[in-house]
Amino acid sequence: MKLRTATLSLLALLSAILPARAEDPSAYPTRKIRMLLPYAAGGGGDVVGRLLADGMSKTLGQSIYIENHTGAAGTIGTKMVAASANDGYTITVGGMTTHVLAPAIYPKLSYDPIKDFTTIGRVGTSSIMLVATKNFAANDIKGLVAMAKKGEAIQYGSWGVGSTGQFCAEILMQQTGIKMDHVPFNGIAKLAGDLLGGHISLATLDVATATPLVKEGSIKALAACGERSPSLPDVASYKEQGVPFDRSLSWAMYAPAGMAPPIAQKLSAALKDALGDEVVKQKLLALGITPQFVPGEEQRDINARDIAAWKQVAKDAGIEVK
């Protein structure tokens, strides 16, 4: 009896100190999945994430719930994803800022955008919109350049130092020779709110945030940084307005590094299914995002090449966060 009791006690002790056996990848998913988004609720990235979460849950047979963790141009929430378990129950949607531009401006970035993530696949491409209040003097890049050359002081807002919005404005200044003062905001929702309130007159917004505001006439769009947006087809791109820039700006889905290949493949297949759904496709297009699935490994290689190119832009502009 004493031996049996001692054996049971030893088994209980071992079960307490040894990690639980990992879930069988073939059974994944068996519970809810967390989509941790480094964007403020209501912003463009948040809207995209929620749309994909709904679409992917149909294929996966499990619900995907959202957590928003903002700050430091999205790098805080992205770091949280990198530090999460790689069991397939934490995923994120990353934009240019979090996975391509951050390593160009943060010399001590707390995560490696390539090594610390499993790339699930590309979501699509989009633009950054240069927008202004309705009474802003310029209606396009030509008008903005004319204002600057008259000596008018011009301020513009972006959703943070090192954001894609700041990079787009810096490229505009580099190519046209004008000067604008940067006003960084803590999140795109705050920036959009201050633009609507007239507290700042010129800003860069992601196309998902800008599109409904431009369409309802609350603000106006001067140019698209990147490709001409399908949601705002009347707004000419930088290149069409004489600024030599046509680089693709992509959204992609990521998970922590080291994920079991069968789990990554299931998530990738669910993402591809969601992007192929006509309702999801039309909603993304309405947000200014052109759905374009690219497999994870291919997108990872594209990111690695883009990081090197954008580092040069950051160096020329002197963009660095210490």
Query: Quick one: pLDDT band at residue 43, thresholds 50, 70, 90?
Result: confident
| pLDDT of 22 | 54
- Burial track 210-233 (b if 16+ CB lie within 10 A, e otherwise): bbebbeeeebbbbbbbbbbbbbbe
Distance CA 70, CA 77 (A): 6
| pLDDT of 322 | 67
| pLDDT of 8 | 42
125, 54 in Cβ contact below 8 A?
Answer: no
Distance CA 77, CA 191 (A): 19
Q: What is the mean pLDDT of the chain?
A: 89
Query: Quick one: pLDDT band at residue 23, thresholds 50, 70, 90?
Result: low
Is this prediction's pTM over 0.85?
Answer: no
Q: What secondary structure does DSSP assign to 90-140, as a single string?
A: EEEEE-HIIIIIHHHH-TT-SS-TTTTEEEEEEEEEE-EEEEEETT-S-SS
Query: Quick one: pLDDT band at residue 18, thresholds 50, 70, 90?
Result: very low
Q: Which of 12-21, 75-84, 127-136 has the lowest mean pLDDT?
A: 12-21
pLDDT digits (tens, 9 = 90+) for 249-292: 899 999 999 999 999 999 999 999 999 999 999 999 888 889 99
Distance CA 200, CA 26 (A): 52
